[in-house]
Structure 1
Amino acid sequence: MLRLASMLYSIIGTTMAGTLIIAALTAGYDTLVPILIAAGIGAVAGIPISYLVAQAITKNKI
């Protein structure tokens, strides 16, 4: 399941980071530090989400 979670993270982590970057830019934060913080939060938030999605796939809940 770890292999599946790591493959899913490559998609989910970048999507979460990109979404939070767009949210930060929309909120008016246009300097480097808030954009990097948003990307970091999105990348870290993608770890448990990808694990939960992999767990749901292996248990056929999806």
Structure 2
Amino acid sequence: MSIEEKSRALMVRQYHQVKNRQQSMMMRAAQELGLPEEASHYWNPIQGKIDPTTRMIYGSSHVAMS
């Protein structure tokens, strides 16, 4: 794999991780509030880019979970 392919794969993987984290947190919140499951399927990136605030909240950090 070239450097470009590796960087693209990393970017795509991070994008999907952020999306999955956000949707799983929204699903938990929807269940707690008694909202329909469809509320957790919200995903609205602008032109395929994740909002920086969303990336900061749902993106991976360097903190290990136990």
Residues matched between the structures, number: 46
Aligned counterpart, 1:21: 27
- The structure 1 segments of at least 4 consecutive aligned residues displaced by more than 2 Å after TM superposition are none
Give, in whole Å, the separation in 2 of the partners of 1:18 and 1:11: 11
State the Cα RMSD in Å: 3.2
Aligned counterpart, 2:16: 10
Aligned in 2, Cα 1:5/1:44: closer, same or farther, shift over 3 Å? farther
- In structure 2, stretches of 5+ residues that fail to align are 57-66
Kindly name which structure, 1 or 2, has the bigger radius of gyration based on alpha carbons.
2
- What percentage of aligned pairs have identical amino acids? 16
Amino acid corresponding to residue 44 of structure 1 in structure 2: N
Q: How does 1:31-42 map to 2 (within 5 A)?
A: 34-39=36-41, 41=42
| TM-score for both structures, normalised by structure 1 | 0.50
| TM-score for both structures, normalised by structure 2 | 0.48
Offset of residue 36 of structure 1? 2.0
- In structure 1, stretches of 5+ residues that fail to align are 54-62
Structure with the bigger percentage of helix: 1
Offset of residue 49 of structure 1? 4.1
